[in-house]
């Protein structure tokens, strides 16, 4: 509000206070800081519902998500004689002059880092009087909500986040919080509604679950409402961007086992290229996820892939030296290297029969080891609990 608008508002309130209608609304002893009481002196009951328009920016690097929602809260204040002013109004909206003087639940959003109340083109808030005298307030917010994410299973993870609502200064002896679908609610309806079927880029969102607790503060006990969200990450993007490319590089690195052991340039370049490519992919994956001091599922995969290409690279020097040893042997005993009929073998036959023993073993060992790893990896992470 600008200072001129504020002055105008004060003047309006002053004039309104002088109006006899105003006097009939408020009893003589009315303090806007005192919560209303029920007929039997019980604590005020506040009913809350969220209409969630949109969930986006679910971010593991910021450890939070963004929520666009309508917050609805409903309470009853028997001290007010609102009929005096509203009987003739068809819309039954409480005027701002009255709203500013009545008691309102001091609702806070405990785990939101920042928030924003929409003000286009008017402040996105109204208070309405229902037929049974309940005051019904609707407000439109955008929140940045905190969420501690656990990434051990990333990218096969499921994140449990919540938005926690409480009353700032009112203990549960003076006012209690309830979800709108509480059995005692006079206008029972869904507490948490996902208004639009919104699908954020990477996640599936389950229907949010309402939850209520009473927590102890230093002097008092307060009621809190939780809206629990479950975000399940869709794995397709990670499969396409990380798992399949690194797997292909590992498979490519085996190509060298089928090349002649004397093809040094070909075999070394395959080895070096696969190690470099894998390292690049690891760096890329690190950039897109926060660095945590535990192993994420994707780190395990990348580490094993790096180990596989490293070992495939290491295999060549060993095969090369073993080959040298055998070649010397063959030259020193030429008679042993003849076919069963005693002829000297052709080049092709020699190649076929004397494929390096290390290469022969690797052709079987490397794919089997990787295959066993893939099975164990996916079986472990897909069956692992949260």
Ligand X SMILES: *[C@@H]1O[C@H](CO)[C@@H](O)[C@H](O)[C@H]1NC(C)=O
**Residue 257 gets which letter from DSSP?**
G
Does residue 88 interact with ligand X by CB under 6 A? Answer: yes
The residue within the footprint of ligand X, chosen from 8, 10, 21, 199 (CB under 6 A), is: 21
Nearer to ligand X, 110 or 259 (CB): 110
Work out how close the CB of 211 gets to ligand X at its nearest, in angstroms, rounded to a whole number: 4
146 backbone φψ class: left, alpha, beta (φ>0; ψ -120 to 50) = beta
Contacts of 141 by beta carbon, 8 Å cutoff, 6+ apart = 67, 68, 69, 70, 71, 109, 115, 116, 117, 118
Does residue 158 interact with ligand X by CB under 6 A? Answer: no
Nearer to ligand X, 20 or 342 (CB): 20
CA distances (Å), 278 to each of 281, 284, 315, 332, 367, in order?
Answer: 5, 10, 17, 43, 17
Residue 228-267 contact track with ligand X, rule CB under 6 A, x = bound: x---------------------------------------
Does residue 351 interact with ligand X by CB under 6 A? Answer: no
Contacts of 263 by beta carbon, 8 Å cutoff, 6+ apart = none
151-179 core/surface letters (b: 16 or more CB in 10 A; e: else)? bebbbbbebebbbbbbbeebbbeebbbbb
> ω before 155 within 30° of 0 (cis)?
yes
Work out how close the CB of 230 gets to ligand X at its nearest, in angstroms, rounded to a whole number: 8
Residue 185-224 contact track with ligand X, rule CB under 6 A, x = bound: ---xxx------------------x-x-------------
The 10 Å Cβ neighbour count of residue 11 is 10
Contacts to ligand X from residues 66-85, by CB under 6 A: 85
Per the DSSP assignment, residues forming a β-bridge with 44 are: 175
Nearer to ligand X, 190 or 300 (CB): 190
Nearer to ligand X, 21 or 244 (CB): 21
Nearer to ligand X, 9 or 136 (CB): 136
Residues contacting ligand X: total by CB under 6 A:
12
Q: How far apart are CA 370 and CA 102, in angstroms?
A: 70
Contacts to ligand X from residues 26-55, by CB under 6 A: none
Which spans of this chain sit near ligand X (rule: CB under 6 A)? 21, 85, 87-88, 162, 188-190, 209, 211, 226, 228
């Amino acid at each position: 509000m600008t200072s001129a608008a504020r002055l105008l508002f004060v003047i309006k309130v002053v004039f309104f206070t002088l109006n006899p209608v105003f006097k009939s609304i408020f009893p003589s002893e009315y303090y806007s800081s005192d919560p209303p009481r029920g007929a039997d002196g019980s604590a005020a009951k506040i009913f809350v519902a969220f209409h969630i328009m949109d969930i986006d920016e679910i971010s593991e690097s910021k450890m939070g998500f963004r929520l666009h929602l309508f917050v609805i809260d409903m309470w009853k204040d028997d001290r007010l004689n609102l009929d005096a002013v509203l009987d003739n109004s068809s819309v039954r909206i409480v005027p701002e002059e009255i709203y500013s003087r009545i008691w309102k639940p001091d609702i806070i959003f405990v785990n939101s880092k920042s928030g924003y109340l929409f003000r286009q083109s008017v402040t996105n808030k109204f208070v309405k009087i229902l037929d049974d005298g309940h005051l019904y307030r609707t407000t439109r917010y955008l929140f940045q909500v905190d969420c501690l994410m656990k990434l051990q299973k990333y990218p096969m993870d499921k994140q449990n986040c919540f938005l926690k609502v409480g009353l700032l200064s009112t203990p549960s002896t003076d006012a209690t919080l309830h979800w709108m679908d509480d059995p005692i609610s006079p206008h029972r309806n869904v507490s948490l509604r996902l208004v639009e079927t919104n699908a954020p880029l990477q996640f599936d969102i389950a229907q949010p679950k309402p939850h209520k607790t009473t927590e102890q503060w230093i002097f008092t006990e307060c009621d809190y409402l939780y809206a629990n969200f479950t975000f399940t990450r869709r794995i397709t993007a990670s499969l396409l961007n990380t798992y399949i490319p690194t797997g292909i590089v590992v498979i490519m690195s085996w190509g060298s086992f089928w090349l002649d052991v004397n093809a040094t340039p070909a075999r070394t370049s395959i080895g070096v290229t696969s190690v470099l490519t894998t390292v690049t992919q690891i760096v890329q994956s690190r950039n897109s996820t926060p660095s945590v001091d535990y192993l994420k599922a994707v780190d395990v995969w990348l580490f094993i892939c790096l180990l596989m290409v490293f070992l495939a690279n290491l295999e060549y020097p060993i095969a090369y030296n073993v080959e040298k040893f055998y070649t010397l042997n063959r030259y020193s005993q030429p008679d042993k290297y003849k076919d069963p009929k005693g002829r000297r073998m052709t080049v092709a036959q020699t190649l076929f029969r004397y494929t390096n023993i290390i290469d022969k073993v690797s052709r079987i060992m490397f794919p089997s080891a990787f295959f066993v790893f893939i099975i164990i990896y996916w079986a472990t992470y897909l069956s692992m609990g949260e």
